[in-house]
Amino acid sequence: MMTEFVPADIDASTWQNLQPYYQQLLDRDFKCSGCLEQFLLDRSELDAAAAEAGSNLYIAMTCNTEDEDAKAGFLHFVENVEPELKKVGFELNKKVVSCQHVQDLDSDRYSVLLRDWFADVEIFREENVPLQTEDTKLGQEYAELCGALMVEFDGEEKTMPQMGVYQQDQDRTIREASWRGVAERRLQDRKNIDDIFDKMVKIRHESANNAGFEDYRGYMFAVKHRFDYTPEDCIAFHDAIEQTCMPIVRKLAQERKEALGVETLRPWDLAVDPYGHAALKPFDDADDLIEKTAKLFHRMDGELGEMFDSMRDGGYSLDLDSRKGKAPGGYQASRDRQRKPFIFMNAAGLPRDLDTMVHEAGHAFHYMLCRHDDLVWYRGAPLEFAEVASMSMESLAYPFLDEFYTKEETKRAIRKHLEGIVSVLPWVATIDAFQHWIYLNPEHTREERTSQWLELVKRFGNDVDWSGLEMEQEAVWHRQLHPFEVPFYYIEYGIAQLGALQLWLKYCNDPKESLALYKEGLKLGAGKPLPELFETTGLQFDFTAKMVGTLMKAVEEALDQHAE
Ligand SMILES: [Zn+2]
């Protein structure tokens, strides 16, 4: 079965061009499950064309933010095409799940897709549409407040990322002054941000009730298609992190304190290199980065090396160098019609850039390995697994970092990366547990919210001395955008990290076998439920204290091996 429904040269960047094809799909009759399959194939190609148009516009805008046409093109798509796609997408889902032939479809092939669409249709409520719009608007208000944050420092107006640089300074007084500058500025918005959040909690609880859920947590588990794990699994995961990860975090904090020679660790002592090393510089420019990364992947695995080389196509698939007019950050995007990946980043020669390169290459490998699937919805995977594909590459790269560093530097880079893993898990638990509490107690007061936050900080904090900074500590969560803009999205990083660490341990024992499993698992795309994606990759979908404990023990040993 194939599709010729969408012309190869369609300009899918306007709704006007897309609408007639979507209308044809809406009008189509199904006489048998074969008709339904053809419909899915045709729709997939149309959705892919629309997605690629959006992707191309986004890429064009981020590669040159000074190009007004590019910006206008992307905004036009977001404002005029995406809402229509959302509406028609829902109608088409409804049409499929209510079709009498849907039962005759091969469940091995379609059950994951249908499970998602059934859920979407089941929880949809017309009266929630304006509530969601309101929620999005509040999210924009929050983003605007954060985007407008500027601090006067060193005689100049500085942005938050610019202020962050001072946290690496060896001079403690500079770190403290810049930290205080940022915290004081943030506190000015404290009331506004709490106001926004109160409104969000109210709206979210109401929309959950409208959809027949007792609380927003249950509703969001359905919205996010979390069929394969429960809120209780997440709570067990928080406990596991507390038991097995926190002892290492506290040990690292103790070592840091001693290395810095300070009485107590203050919030401005956490980012600086405690041994006073100069910053690492793994590469010169984008060409150097590409050259060395290619060598790294060829040494890791011939096939991955070749997949990386296939992206070296004269700038079509890689835009890595940092230059004026380029948007910040890094991402991997796909062009779903041509089935080609794209990596964007701002390489400035920093170790973080190297991590980003390897991470985004993992996402690109994932895409290349599952792009054979004719259903666009299966070309990718839920975040809990998609981030396994990318995060694991960061750890599997350890033996090849000598392409970028001396022996001594490699040791430092690995240690820093391992420290990052250990410190991010408690933060994931904090943010996730906080959200569980918030939406199970939607009537809470601000004081109750604050004391819940402080309780979590006690469980998952790393012995930092906040004395005299109580107000600042109470408002720390205000700077984490997820609870505001993408509620309940965060635990995915923790789940994926467990998978990535398992793969890394396997790789240390048997590199060949583990890479073969990596590719097997990625080839499935999103076509199987999460536990099966993990199993096919040779990993367990397991958040228990036993699993987390085993992984943390391995990380602790590796940290010792790479100690100063
Ligand atoms: Zn990622």
Residues 273-296 have pLDDT tens digits of 999 998 899 999 999 999 999 999
CB of 454 within 8 A of CB of 473? yes
Q: What is the mean pLDDT of residues 222-241?
A: 97
Shortest CA distance to 361 belongs to which of 554, 533, 522? 522
Q: How far is the CA of 124 from the centre of ligand 1 (A)?
A: 29
Quote the distance between the C-alpha of residue 286 and its chain's center: 24
pLDDT score for 507? 98
Shortest CA distance to 417 belongs to which of 220, 553, 559, 522? 559
Handedness of CA 375, 377, 382, 387 (dihedral sign): positive
Q: How far is the CA of 342 from the centre of ligand 1 (A)?
A: 13
Q: How far is the CA of 31 from the centre of ligand 1 (A)?
A: 42
368-407 burial, b at 16+ Cβ within 10 Å, e below that, comes to bbbbebebbbbbbbbebbbbbbbbbbbbbbbebbebbbee
Q: What is the mean pLDDT of residues 134-138?
A: 92
User: Scanning the structure block, which residue is given the tokens 């298609």?
Assistant: 225
Q: How far is the CA of 127 from the centre of ligand 1 (A)?
A: 34
Q: How far is the CA of 399 from the centre of ligand 1 (A)?
A: 21
Q: How far is the CA of 88 from the centre of ligand 1 (A)?
A: 29
pLDDT score for 148? 85
Give percent above pLDDT 90 in the chain.
89
Q: How far is the CA of 156 from the centre of ligand 1 (A)?
A: 34
CB of 450 within 8 A of CB of 388? no
Compute the radius of gyration of the chain from its Cα atoms: 24
Distance CA(277)–CA(202), nearest Å, equals 49
Helices (H), 397-489: 407-440, 446-460, 470-474, 482-485
pLDDT score for 142? 92
Distance CA(298)–CA(402), nearest Å, equals 14
Return phi, psi of residue 272, to 5°: -70, 150
Q: How far is the CA of 408 from the centre of ligand 1 (A)?
A: 28
Q: How far is the CA of 364 from the centre of ligand 1 (A)?
A: 10
Per the DSSP assignment, residues forming a β-bridge with 318 are: 343
Q: How far is the CA of 387 from the centre of ligand 1 (A)?
A: 5
**pLDDT digits over 292-308, tens only?**
999 999 999 999 999 99
Q: How far is the CA of 345 from the centre of ligand 1 (A)?
A: 13
Shortest CA distance to 409 belongs to which of 554, 283, 271? 283
The two tokens of residue 403 are 């392409």
Helices (H), 98-230: 107-123, 128-147, 160-164, 172-188, 190-210, 216-223
Give percent above pLDDT 70 in the chain.
100
CA diameter of the chain: 77
Going by pLDDT thresholds of 50, 70 and 90, the confidence category of residue 122 is: very high
Q: How far is the CA of 15 from the centre of ligand 1 (A)?
A: 30
Kind and range of the H or E element at 536? helix 530-536
Quote the distance between the C-alpha of residue 555 and its chain's center: 22
Shortest CA distance to 5 belongs to which of 335, 333, 334, 337? 337
Going by pLDDT thresholds of 50, 70 and 90, the confidence category of residue 324 is: confident
CB of 297 within 8 A of CB of 308? yes
Amino acid at 387: E
Q: What is the mean pLDDT of residues 524-529?
A: 98
Distance CA(342)–CA(340), nearest Å, equals 7
pLDDT score for 532? 98
**What residues have CB less than 8 Å from 135, skipping those under 6 apart?**
200, 203, 204, 207
CB of 64 within 8 A of CB of 70? yes
The per-residue pLDDT of the chain, averaged, comes to 95
Quote the distance between the C-alpha of residue 181 and its chain's center: 29
Q: 406 pLDDT exceeds 80?
A: yes
Distance CA(413)–CA(392), nearest Å, equals 16
Q: 314 pLDDT exceeds 80?
A: yes
pLDDT score for 176? 97
As a dihedral over the C-alpha atoms of residue 279, residue 285, residue 286, residue 288, rounded to 10 degrees, the angle is -90
Query: Which of 135-144, 202-211, 354-363, 433-442 bottoms out in mean pLDDT, i.e. has the lowest?
Result: 135-144
CB of 102 within 8 A of CB of 114? yes
Q: How far is the CA of 192 from the centre of ligand 1 (A)?
A: 31
Amino acid at 490: Y
Q: How far is the CA of 332 from the centre of ligand 1 (A)?
A: 8
Q: What is the mean pLDDT of residues 108-134?
A: 95
A 10 A CB-CB count for 69 gives 10
Q: How far is the CA of 385 from the centre of ligand 1 (A)?
A: 10
DSSP state of 188: H
Q: How far is the CA of 508 from the centre of ligand 1 (A)?
A: 22
Q: How far is the CA of 432 from the centre of ligand 1 (A)?
A: 19
Q: What is the mean pLDDT of residues 268-275?
A: 94
Q: 162 pLDDT exceeds 90?
A: no
Q: How far is the CA of 299 from the centre of ligand 1 (A)?
A: 23
Q: How far is the CA of 556 from the centre of ligand 1 (A)?
A: 24
As a dihedral over the C-alpha atoms of residue 111, residue 116, residue 119, residue 121, rounded to 10 degrees, the angle is -110
Q: 159 pLDDT exceeds 90?
A: no
Handedness of CA 347, 353, 356, 361 (dihedral sign): positive
Q: What is the mean pLDDT of residues 332-339?
A: 95
Kind and range of the H or E element at 351? helix 351-370
Q: How far is the CA of 431 from the centre of ligand 1 (A)?
A: 19
The two tokens of residue 318 are 């890689």
Distance CA(80)–CA(75), nearest Å, equals 8
Q: How far is the CA of 357 from the centre of ligand 1 (A)?
A: 11
Q: 444 pLDDT exceeds 80?
A: yes
CB of 367 within 8 A of CB of 379? yes
Q: How far is the CA of 389 from the centre of ligand 1 (A)?
A: 8
Handedness of CA 556, 560, 562, 564 (dihedral sign): positive
The two tokens of residue 111 are 């059950």
Q: How far is the CA of 363 from the centre of ligand 1 (A)?
A: 7
Amino acid at 450: T
Q: How far is the CA of 404 from the centre of ligand 1 (A)?
A: 22
Q: How far is the CA of 390 from the centre of ligand 1 (A)?
A: 6
